[in-house]
Chains A and B, each alone.
Chain A
Amino acid sequence: MKATVYVTIKQNVLDVQGTAVQGALHSMGFEEVGKVRIGKYLELELGTTDKAEAEARVKAMCEKLLANTVIEDYRYELA
């Protein structure tokens, strides 16, 4: 089973990378771009076929290491 994890800076926390990229896009003429958010994309190969077990384990991984929940949100997909 494979987990895809997305980690993003919380909406109410300044995303400096996103702001820099937004500025660059505007200066290139893409003025239609509103807020830009940049996050992390992780692919995890899991040695299990049990979806419930995988879900619990991935959630624990996110809470403990992959995201810092003080400043970041996370979501994941299992396939």
Chain B
Amino acid sequence: MNFAVLVFPGSNCDIDCYKAIEDTIGQPVDYVWHTADDLSKYDCILVPGGFSYGDYLRCGAIAQFTNVMKAVVKAAEEGKYILGICNGFQVLTEARLLPGALLRNNGMKFRCHQAVLKVENNTTPFTRDYAEGELINIPIAHGEGNYYCDDATLKELQENNQIVFRYEAGNNPNGSVDDIAGICNKAGNVVGMMPHPERAIHELLGSADGKKMFTSILSTWREKHGAAAIR
């Protein structure tokens, strides 16, 4: 299974994503620069955290018009697996691959700490190794992670089971609607989340609860494509 980690000017979690793939599932992974326009060799695309284009204008706003994002839109339509983390989530909403938008945290603070998430949907390709309702410990690090969508969109997300992660009740760090920490598109192949599973792949990092995001995607792919070579 081939992984791409996109790199925009200002990405800073690209190395963490690359290492997470190497260390958890040992699959081939490449950095792909924002000028690339062909993602056809990749089965899964990770849009990492950071500050693409300095987050000038708005978080993720400028990244959406890059060559590589046009290829990501095409890959999404083809049903390939796409995961946007933090700034990557902002880029996916700006590109309209996911509904809604990210606002500044309602507490006016940059929040950087472990957060307890509840796995609301364990049927996505990225969450199938979790149990439904499982509580996991995943770090957050964002100033603009307050997920917002209008009431009609929220209703649609709820009805289609598109809410993938919620912050633990009473511990919403940013004021997001319905305590949302991560969502997926209708087809389920595109997932976006503010917390950083790639920073939670070993107990030495404080938690290994992010590992299953990566094992999930490999087992999904294997089920679809038969046995894959693993290291």
| Chain A residues proximal to chain B, CB less than 8 Å | 9, 13-14, 16-17, 19-20, 40, 65-66, 68, 70-71
Contacts and interface: CB of A to CB of B under 8 A. Distances in A.
Interface string B95-108: 00001110111101
A66 B56 CA distance: 11
Interface stretch (B57-65, B154-162, B186-194): B57-65
14 contacts: A13-B103, A13-B148, A14-B146, A14-B175, A16-B105, A16-B108, A16-B146, A40-B57, A65-B57, A68-B58, A70-B93, A70-B101, A70-B150, A71-B103
Contacts of A20: 108
A66 to B, nearest CB: 7
Interface string B52-88: 0000011001100100000000000000000000000
A16 B61 contact: no
Interface string B110-153: 00000000000000000000000000000000000010111000
Contacts of B101: 68, 70-71
Label chain B's interface by main secondary structure: loop
Contacts of B148: 13, 70-71
Contacts of A71: 101, 103, 148
Given A68-B61, A70-B101, A70-B150, 7 more contacts: A14-B106, A14-B175, A16-B104, A16-B105, A68-B101, A70-B148, A71-B148
A71 B104 CA distance: 11
A19 B62 CA distance: 27
A19 B104 CA distance: 11
Contact of B61 (A13, A17, A65): A65
Contacts of A40: 57
A16 B149 contact: no
